[in-house]
Amino acid sequence: MTLTNERPVFRGIGTSTQSDWLKAATDAPARRRLFIVTSGYEARNTRWIERTLDVLALPDKASCMVVGFKDFPAALSRSRNDEFYRKRGIEPSAESSEQQEAFLERINVAVVTLLAESAGEPVEVHVDYSCMPRLWYCRLPLLLEKVLRRQDKAYFWYTPGLYPETEYPTAGVEDFHVFSGRPSLGAAYRTHIFGLGFDRTRSQAIWSIIDPQNLVCFYADPASKPEYVDRVKNDNRIVLSAANYTFTVPIHDFVLAYSKIAAVASEFQYFGDVILVPDGPKPLILAASLVPLRLGRKGITCFHVKRRKEEDFKPVDVQPLSDPVGFHFCGRRDE
């Protein structure tokens, strides 16, 4: 489906934790909600929804949409995750992680249906993007802001994960494409702002391909665990040594992370074009991807690098580590 080219506003944007939201939700009058969650091979797939359903009743099965990935349908925690939903009368769908448009259209139809049934009352749409591919979650804020009304809210949730100490499985690099923003024509100077994570093989491949004129790097600090900061710095020491500037953003505060990335992009645009190439934790990828859209300036773009999973790729069962964190904003559509 085609999304609007209007600059996103993200009215009333704020950072949330699941604990704070659940406390507020139990103290407030009940309202219609749609939960959009996934079933895949990671154990953390069900952390957010399990805690939510322990506190809030699910009055209607249609209020919970479970997207089951076709990829690795029997790997690791997938069977347990499917069983979790089936015990609650919810059958996971079967979706390919490559089918972006079909996924977005399903969400659009579900939200429009929710609004039609709301009789004008405010609604909430909650997205747990902890295990979603970036092809999906990076476009969802734009879709929800466009479809939801000014009195409605969208929430995006991320469960920090416990990653094993073994070598992180690289997914490789296939191709670059512009996700957001508009480049200048014939810019004399370019700055690449590169997000880093655990996949050092992939990071070095991207770095060698973009061959940046001016390299800026960022990574999560504070991270999900203090030792993850040292791990990222050590794994990416070659790339970091080539950077002219490095900064950090917090994984638990989406609004602050977005603000810092936007500020750095704006500062370096003074010298020429800025190209964001985010990798690493999903909140950082999402924040960086939205920066060119929100700023709306020619000369600031975001590249996404498609992941290629080789035949010997082995999925990792990421366990939930701590309280899910997220952000929320209001819709922009008038009644």
pLDDT tens per residue across span 116-140 = 998 889 999 999 999 999 989 999 9
Residues 6+ apart with CB under 8 A from 270: none
Look up the pTM and report it: 0.93
Is residue 69 within 8 Å of residue 103, measured between CB atoms?
no
Tokens encoding 257 = 């992370």
In this predicted structure, what is the pLDDT of residue 175?
A: 73
Structural domains for the chain: 11-163+316-330 (no CATH), 176-305 (3.40.50.10770)
- Of residues 141 and 206, the one with the higher pLDDT is 141
Q: What are phi and psi of 38, to 5 degrees?
A: -130, 160
pLDDT band, very low/low/confident/very high, at 61 (cuts 50, 70, 90):
very low
Flag whether pLDDT at 168 surpasses 60: no
Query: What value does the mean pLDDT of the chain take?
Result: 89
Cα 254 from Cα 59, distance rounded (Å): 30
In this predicted structure, what is the pLDDT of residue 225?
A: 92
